[in-house]
Each structure stands twice: as C-alpha cells, then as structure tokens.
C-alpha cells in the first residue's frame, strides 16, 4: 500500500511519471507530422501537403496514426531511463567534479552521447516496427484487399519469425550514430542556456540544434530500417543510393 507514495516521492518516480505523461502527449500531438516526415524522406517526392492529401484520400485519416502503439508502449520507460542514465554518465565522464557540484560541460556532452548510444538498444526495435507500419500503404476504399500487418505485434512477430532477434536490430548502427551526437548536443545546449540564464528560448534552440545535427543521418536511417535484409544496404551504400544531401534533408522542419 505504501509503494506508490514512496515511489512518487523519489526522483526516479517523479521522472518516470513526468517522462511518461510528457512523452505520451508529445507522441500523440506530433505523430501525424512524424508520419508525413517518414513518408516524405522515404519517397523523396512531393511536398508535405501533397503527401497529406494523398494519405487522407487513399488510406483515411487514421493512417496518420498507424504504428503509434509501439512508441506509446515504450515512451515512459524510455524517457525515465534516458534521464537516469544521463545523470550517472554526466558525472562518470568527469571525475574532477565534486558530488555536490553540477556536471561540467564536458561531462554533460559526453554523458549525452553515452545516453543516446545506450538508448539506441531499446529504441531501434521500437522505431523499426513503427516505420514499417508508417510506410505500409493500405487502400482506404477497399479494406478487404488489405494484406498488410494489423499492428506492432504483427510486425514484430513477422520479423522474429523470418529474421530472429537480429532482425529487430536492423539499422542499429545508424540509429546509434544518429542518436549519440544528437543527445550530446541536446543536453549540452540545455545546460548552457540554463547556466547563462537564457531559459525563455532554450527549449526551441536545443530542439532545433538536435534536429539539425542528425537530419542527414535520419534520412539514411529510414531507408535502412524499411528494407528487408535481402535488399538492405550498408550505410555507405545507402548514401550512394540517395540523391545527394538535398534528398537526405527532405522533410526537415
């Protein structure tokens, strides 16, 4: 009976609950835009508004939320773990800082990089399932002809059956290369603006800094995770297969 009051009174409990509510709200509000970004980066054709019209007309409005179950199921644990890992690593990478002092900029940056790298272990399977569902095109007018996967569990079972556990980590390398530096930039920018007292705009700045730092890799990451193992390209081959830097930056906010 005393578990929840004690859990919520601890820093881990507060971060777990806050991260869960914040993550769920962020996913629900931003998921349609994420689907448009994924479709645009994958096809390299058309504007976001053109893709939106085609999706709604051909597949229905619900297609904008296809695959949302996978990130919703993991976001609470993922966010809580990310901040706990960062809290440990930001001090572990700079032992010269006292336990009562705030982490140094070096510790913040390296801690963010380490957090992004470790988080990729949990994020890769979730994003793989999500992207496969987002790129699955269904006929809204003729639902009886659909032969695609119905949800995240269907996708996951199919991957396990045909590729095993290794298949769930397709694209892991590029996911780590994408998330490690972006988390370093994200946490360092946050810490810097907080230290100088310019907190009114630091949320927007850190978000944009993180996005800009990873966007070219983001396009390659989508290409890798959508392909099956027989046709999946390595990182260098995926770079050659794209149509230059402008193609990899399509869908950038």
Residue 1 forms part of a structural domain:
no
Helix locations, 140-234, DSSP H: 152-163, 172-195, 202-226
Domain count, the chain: 1
Q: Are 242 and 174 in contact (CB under 8 A)?
A: no
Predicted confidence band at 79 (pLDDT cuts at 50, 70, 90)? confident
| Structure tokens that stand for 184 in this block | 């370093």
Q: Are 64 and 55 in contact (CB under 8 A)?
A: yes
Residue 253 forms part of a structural domain:
no
pLDDT beyond 60 at 231: no
Taking the C-alpha atoms of residue 243 and residue 71, their distance in angstroms, rounded to an integer, is: 30
The parent domain of residue 120 ranges over 15-248
Residue 79 forms part of a structural domain:
yes
CATH number at 203 reads: 1.50.40.10
At residue 110, what are phi and psi to the nearest 5 degrees? -70, -35
| Whole-structure pTM value | 0.74
Least confident interval from 31-40, 73-82, 142-151, 167-176: 142-151
No. of H helices and E strands in the chain?
A: 10, 0
Residue 64 forms part of a structural domain:
yes
pLDDT digits (tens, 9 = 90+) for 183-221: 898 888 888 877 776 555 555 555 555 555 555 666 665
What element of type H or E holds 250? none
Q: Specify burial of residue 191 (Cβ count, 10 A radius: 0-12, 13-18, 19+).
A: buried
Residue 198 forms part of a structural domain:
yes
Residue 10 forms part of a structural domain:
no
Residue 51 forms part of a structural domain:
yes
Residue 52 forms part of a structural domain:
yes
Predicted confidence band at 148 (pLDDT cuts at 50, 70, 90)? low
């Amino acid at each position: 009976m005393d578990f929840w009051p004690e859990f919520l009174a601890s820093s881990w409990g507060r971060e777990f609950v806050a991260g869960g509510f914040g993550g769920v709200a962020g996913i629900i509000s931003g998921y349609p835009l994420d689907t448009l970004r994924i479709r645009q980066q994958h096809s390299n054709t058309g504007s976001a508004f053109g893709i939106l019209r085609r999706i709604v007309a051909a597949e229905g409005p619900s297609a904008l939320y296809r695959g949302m179950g996978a990130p919703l199921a993991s976001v609470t644990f993922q966010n809580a773990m990310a901040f706990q890992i960062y809290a440990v690593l930001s001090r572990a990478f700079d032992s010269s800082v006292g336990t009562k002092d705030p982490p140094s900029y070096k510790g913040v940056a390296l801690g963010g990089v380490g957090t992004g790298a470790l988080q990729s272990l949990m994020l890769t399977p979730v994003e793989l399932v999500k992207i496969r569902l987002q790129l699955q095109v269904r006929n809204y007018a003729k639902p009886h002809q659909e032969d695609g996967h119905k949800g995240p569990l269907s996708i996951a079972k199919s991957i396990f059956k045909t590729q095993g556990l290794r298949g769930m980590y397709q694209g892991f390398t590029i996911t780590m290369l994408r998330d490690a530096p972006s988390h370093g930039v994200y946490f360092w920018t946050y810490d810097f603006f907080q230290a100088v007292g310019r907190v009114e705009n630091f949320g927007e700045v850190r978000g944009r800094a993180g996005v800009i730092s990873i966007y070219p890799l983001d396009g390659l990451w989508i290409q890798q995770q959508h392909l099956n193992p027989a046709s999946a390209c390595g990182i260098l081959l995926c770079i050659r297969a794209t149509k230059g830097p402008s193609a990899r930056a399509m869908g950038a906010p």
